[in-house]
């Protein structure tokens, strides 16, 4: 018997697993592979690049007839870009990082489900106020940008706060044991990023994929340094978890010095243009421990669901 939850019923999917809408990396091929595997594939619309969105929407339509969706970063996307995505009738639109208020009504008017990712309890209250159909509680273990709460206590706190709105757990979930844990915490499923980032369908350079496969969780850290170096205007409150690299070792704790050092910033830009792995951000979460190969995304969905069922059947027996 498949694991059925409020999430699988709401989205008409087989397994309680969603692909995190990882900006740039979660393109049409990855979203379609996750949807075809029985999960919910979400395109990583990121800050709202129109060309990227057009191209990847076309790919998702070519490759799947199953439910899919698209995610955007609220602090930077424009309403017209969200509307462009809604024109293609996604099952869901997910909004993260910043105030979702300007977009909530348009998503509902278009008939899509509204998913809001939250990083603290205030954001969870705001998401409820915005009429979210589904709330993603993201713990600080997550790869990419996020906040400071840990998944284990944060997920049940959000579940209690926003009930009866269903919640997905995110941050550090990369295998069936993590999915099982999410369900036991009261979540209706898991939203998974880093594990899918290492799959061949993700839009990622091969060297970066290999770095994720090779890395252990001890080798990730949250920082603002790489956003400063990239001159990326992320709101201060959201730091990014990346693999450690030589540039972080050089500037950790010296953010203000970096801001004030035009030569260092120019050197960063040159190295980043070559995709030098010693400087570029490889966004990845603590769950890199659990990633040992570049598994196709559809297989990940099926394996996570099967492992979670086994894990739940065995709870308390070890
Ligand atoms: C490479 C990468 C890019 C991400 N980009 C976005 C994004 O553009 N929008 C978003 O809502 N979340 C983004 N996230 C965060 C995910 O939505 C999610 O919270 C996270 O991946 C879950 O933790 P995990 O990586 O441990 O599975 C990103 C995560 C990664 C790893």
Question: By 3-state DSSP, what share of the chain in percent is helix, strand and coil, each rounded to 5?
Answer: 45, 15, 40
- The protein residue whose alpha carbon is closest to atom 17 in ligand 1 is 20
CA distances from 24 to 69, 197, 205 (A): 15, 11, 12
> Ligand 1 pocket: which of 143, 171, 301 to mutate (most atoms <8 Å of CB)?
143
Of 22, 167, 196, the residue with max ligand 1 atoms within 8 A of its CB, to mutate for a pocket test, comes to: 22
- Token pair 């990633």: residue: 291
> In this structure, how many other beta carbons lie within 10 angstroms of the beta carbon of residue 33?
25
Give residue 2's pLDDT: 83
226 by Cβ neighbours in 10 Å (0-12 / 13-18 / 19+) ranks as buried
Write down the pLDDT at residue 1.
62
**Tell me, what's the pLDDT at 71?**
98
How far apart are the C-alpha atoms of 185 and 169, rounded to whole Å? 9
Å from CA of 145 to ligand 1 middle: 7
CA 111 – ligand 1 centroid, Å: 25
Pocket-forming residues, ligand 1, beta carbon under 6 Å? 20-23, 25, 44, 46, 71, 73, 96, 117, 138, 141-144, 170-173, 191-194, 197, 283-285, 287
Residue nearest to atom 21 of ligand 1 (CA): 193
Ligand 1 centroid from CA 142, angstroms: 7
**Tens place of pLDDT for every residue, the chain, 318 residues?**
689 999 999 999 999 999 999 999 999 999 999 999 999 999 999 999 999 999 999 999 999 999 999 999 999 999 999 999 999 999 999 999 999 999 999 999 999 999 999 999 999 999 999 999 999 999 999 999 999 999 999 999 999 999 999 999 999 999 999 999 999 999 999 999 999 999 999 999 999 999 999 998 899 999 999 999 999 999 999 999 999 999 999 999 999 999 999 999 999 999 999 999 999 999 999 999 999 999 999 999 999 999 999 999 987 766
Residue 135 three-state SS: strand
Cβ atoms of 19 and 31 within 8 Å: the answer is: yes
Candidate of 17, 18, 19, 20 to mutate for ligand 1, largest count of ligand atoms within 8 Å of Cβ: 20
Distance 309 CA to ligand 1 centre (A): 25
Mutate to test the pocket of ligand 1, among 134, 144, 148, 226 (most ligand atoms within 8 A of CB): 144
Q: What is the pLDDT of residue 318?
A: 60
pLDDT at 274: 95
């Amino acid at each position: 018997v498949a694991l059925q939850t409020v999430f699988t019923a709401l989205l008409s999917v087989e397994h309680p697993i969603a692909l995190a809408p990882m900006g740039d990396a979660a393109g049409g091929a990855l979203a379609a592979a996750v949807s075809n595997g029985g999960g919910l594939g979400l395109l990583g619309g990121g800050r709202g690049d129109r060309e990227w969105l057009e191209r990847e929407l076309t790919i998702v339509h070519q490759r799947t007839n199953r439910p899919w969706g698209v995610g955007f970063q609220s602090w930077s996307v424009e309403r017209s870009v969200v509307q462009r995505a809604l024109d293609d009738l996604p099952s869901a639109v997910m909004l993260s990082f910043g105030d979702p208020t300007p977009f909530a009504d348009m998503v509902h008017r278009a008939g899509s489900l509204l998913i809001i990712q939250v990083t603290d309890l205030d954001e969870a209250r705001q998401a409820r106020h915005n009429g979210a159909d589904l709330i993603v509680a993201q713990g600080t273990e997550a790869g990419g940008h996020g906040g400071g709460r840990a998944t284990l206590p944060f997920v049940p706190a959000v579940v209690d706060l926003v009930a009866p709105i269903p919640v997905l757990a995110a941050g550090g979930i990369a295998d069936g044991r993590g999915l099982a844990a999410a369900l036991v915490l009261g979540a209706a499923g898991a939203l998974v990023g880093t594990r899918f980032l290492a799959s061949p369908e993700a839009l990622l350079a091969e060297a970066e994929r290999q770095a994720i496969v090779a890395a252990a969780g001890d080798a990730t850290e949250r920082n603002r340094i790489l956003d400063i170096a990239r001159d990326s205007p992320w709101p201060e409150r959201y730091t990014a978890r990346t693999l450690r690299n030589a540039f972080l070792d050089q500037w950790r704790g010296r953010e203000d010095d970096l801001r004030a050092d035009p030569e260092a910033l120019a050197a960063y830009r040159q190295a980043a243009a070559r995709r030098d792995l010693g400087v570029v951000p490889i966004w990845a979460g603590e769950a890199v421990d659990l990633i040992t190969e570049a598994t196709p995304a559809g297989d990940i969905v099926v394996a996570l669901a099967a492992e979670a069922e086994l894990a739940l059947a065995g709870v308390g027996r070890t």
